[in-house]
Amino acid sequence: MRRFPLTTAAVLLLAAAAVVQFTVAGAVAALQRDPAALAAGEWWRLATPLLVQTLGRFQVAMNLVSLAIVGALVEQRLGRVRWVLLALAGTVAGQVSAYLQSDPGGGASIAVCGLAAGRLVAGLRVPSRADVVVVLYVAALAGWGFGGPVPALGAAVLAGLLWTVAGRAALAAIGLAAMVLLVRGDLHGSALTGGLVMAILLVREDRPGERARRAGDGPDRPVL
């Protein structure tokens, strides 16, 4: 990696504040997504659900790890400004979907979904071996949405096998998985779709020299 992913590191430190929920009584109740409280004027609940992981320690670990890995890959390829815009697109789309469905809770995964969508679109244009991270992440999310950890593991394994055979086909299949989640009313599907729309607007095809370098599987570099 040619440039330290500063934005990812800064947001990761902010997301790590989720550990406070295990020591401060009432933190989750005060910050999580709560449609009734939002309607009563607690406007901060539009953003603060990102700071608490309401499924507990497992969600904290998974969201911090995925944010670190996916975030760093996106920042290296697309730069810091696009990183922020993609994360915001996923967050806004996911939060709006959840509130419209009166779905309580919290978690940073909707921001990660926006980032993953950006890497997905960039990978469809010019694939890189690192794109397998997005394939596995979104496949696992889709599987989780259909039944929990076992389907998540199975979906990730199948997506990984598809990736080894045809990288672009795997990326396209993952885009389709996002649409399926959207139709099912899963907030991750909405977050991925928001990220996809933003990515299509932001991500342009790499320069010829950049394309040739990626074909040789060189390290990722921001495309500004």
Query: Worst-scoring range by mean pLDDT, 15-19, 140-144, 164-168, 211-215?
Result: 211-215
Cβ(119)–Cβ(82) below 8 Å: no
Domain that holds residue 18: 6-202
What's the whole-number mean pLDDT along residues 138-146?
85
Bigger pLDDT: 25 vs 88: 88
Could you read off the pLDDT of 38-59 as tens digits, one per residue?
999 999 999 989 888 888 788 8
- Rounded Cα–Cα distance for residues 120 and 163 (Å): 13
The answer to the question of residue 220 being in a domain is: no
CATH of the domain at 166: 1.20.1540
**Number of domains the chain is built from:** 1
Q: Which two tokens stand for residue 172?
A: 């396209």
Could you read off the pLDDT of 22-37 as tens digits, one per residue?
888 788 888 899 999 9
Which pTM value belongs to this model?
Answer: 0.84
Per-residue pLDDT, 106: 87
The answer to the question of residue 224 being in a domain is: no
The answer to the question of residue 207 being in a domain is: no
What's the whole-number mean pLDDT along residues 111-124?
92
The answer to the question of residue 132 being in a domain is: yes
DSSP labels, 88-128: HHHHHHHHHHHHHTT--B--SHHHHHHHHHHHHHHHHHS--
